[in-house]
Amino acid sequence: MKKQIFLLVSLLSNYLLNAQLNFYQGYIISNEGDTLKGEVKVNPKKELPLFAKVMFRDQQGVSKTYKPDKIKGFAYYNTEKKRWHQFISIIDDEPKFYKICIQHPVVIYEYQFEDMQMGEFFTAKQYFIKEKNEFVRLKSKKIKKQLANYIDKEEVLNELEKMDDIDIDKLYSLIEKHYTQSPS
């Protein structure tokens, strides 16, 4: 009986782990500017691979993997957060995708990469804004000053000053709260 329960738990665990890596409603934007609808393969809990390549399945069921130098961008609908996650292609020292995290009142981009610290690998995140056609990295200690030209809500700026590290989800919630018009 114990072996059967162990086998059932093991099978269920494998199913749940593999179930996280699914196709989500999405689209890609070709280099010619065409939007192709279909599905994007993603694990919403670990987006790191999406910053280097994306697997797209078109409406006919044909799957293809794209790198940043082959498309302008892509997006998928995150069913857990109930919002679209958009990525744009960046070609600089190496082709990569940047995720658009915030679009108003300033566009903030995220880039994830694998880094090593003290012999351990971890997912590192950097955030950028675009100024004069150049991406400028946001720095934790200077974020209030860097965003002050774009954010005119003192409550948001005060919260930025309290952040030790950039917490993009908290920043997104703050901006949603202060910049979304509530229906009257």
**Is 62 a member of any domain?**
no
**Is 161 a member of any domain?**
yes
* Nearest-angstrom CA–CA distance, 99 and 10: 34
Domain hosting residue 169, numbered range: 103-184
**Is 37 a member of any domain?**
no
**Is 172 a member of any domain?**
yes
**Is 13 a member of any domain?**
no
**Is 157 a member of any domain?**
yes
CA contacts within 13 A on the Cβ side of 170: 13
Number of domains into which the chain is organized: 1
**Is 48 a member of any domain?**
no
Record the pTM.
0.81
pLDDT in tens, the chain (184 residues): 555 554 444 444 444 444 445 999 999 999 999 999 999 999 878 899 999 999 999 999 999 999 999 999 999 999 888 999 999 999 888 999 999 999 999 999 999 999 888 888 889 999 999 998 899 999 988 999 999 999 998 989 998 888 889 999 999 998 888 887 545 4
**Is 147 a member of any domain?**
yes
